[in-house]
Amino acid sequence: MTEGAQTRPLRVLIVRVGAMGDVLHGLPAVAAVRERMPGCFIGWAVEPRWSSLLAVPESMPVVDRVHMVATREWMKRPFSVATLQNILALRRELRAEQYDVCVDIQGLIRSSVIGWMAGPTRFVGSPNPREAQARWLYREQVTVHSPHVIDKACELVGAGIGQVLRPVRPELPVDAAAEAWCDRRLPELGVGDCGFVLLSPAAGWGAKTWPAERWQLLARQLAAKGYTVLVNAGGPADRAVAAAATGDGPGCLVECGIADLIALTRRAKLVVGGDTGPMHLAAALGRPAVALYGPTHPGRTGPYFPGATVKVLRHGSSTLHHGRHSEPEAGLAQITEEEVFDAAVKLLREVKENG
Poorest-pLDDT segment among 46-50, 111-115, 156-160, 316-320: 316-320
Residue 236: the pLDDT is 86
How big is the chain, counted in residues?
355
Residue 87: the pLDDT is 96
Rounded Cα–Cα distance for residues 215 and 244 (Å): 9
Residue 149 neighbours by CB under 8 Å, 6+ apart: 22, 25, 300, 301
Give which of 272, 295, 242 is closest to 342, Cα–Cα: 272
In angstroms, what CA-CA distances link 171 with 275, 281, 314?
21, 11, 29
Indicate whether 202 pLDDT > 70: yes
Indicate whether 84 pLDDT > 50: yes
Q: Report the percent of the chain where pLDDT is more than 70.
A: 98
Residue 1: the pLDDT is 45
How does residue 3 score in pLDDT terms, banded at 50, 70 and 90? very low
- The mean pLDDT value of the chain amounts to 94
Residue 158: the pLDDT is 98
Indicate whether 279 pLDDT > 70: yes
pLDDT in tens, 20-78: 999 999 999 999 999 999 999 999 999 999 999 999 989 999 999 999 999 989 999 98
Could you give all domains of the chain from N- to C-terminal order, each with its CATH number? 3-161 (3.40.50.2000), 176-353 (3.40.50.2000)
Q: What is the pTM of this model?
A: 0.94
pLDDT in tens, 87-140: 999 999 999 999 999 999 999 999 999 999 999 999 999 999 999 999 999 999
Residue 204: the pLDDT is 81
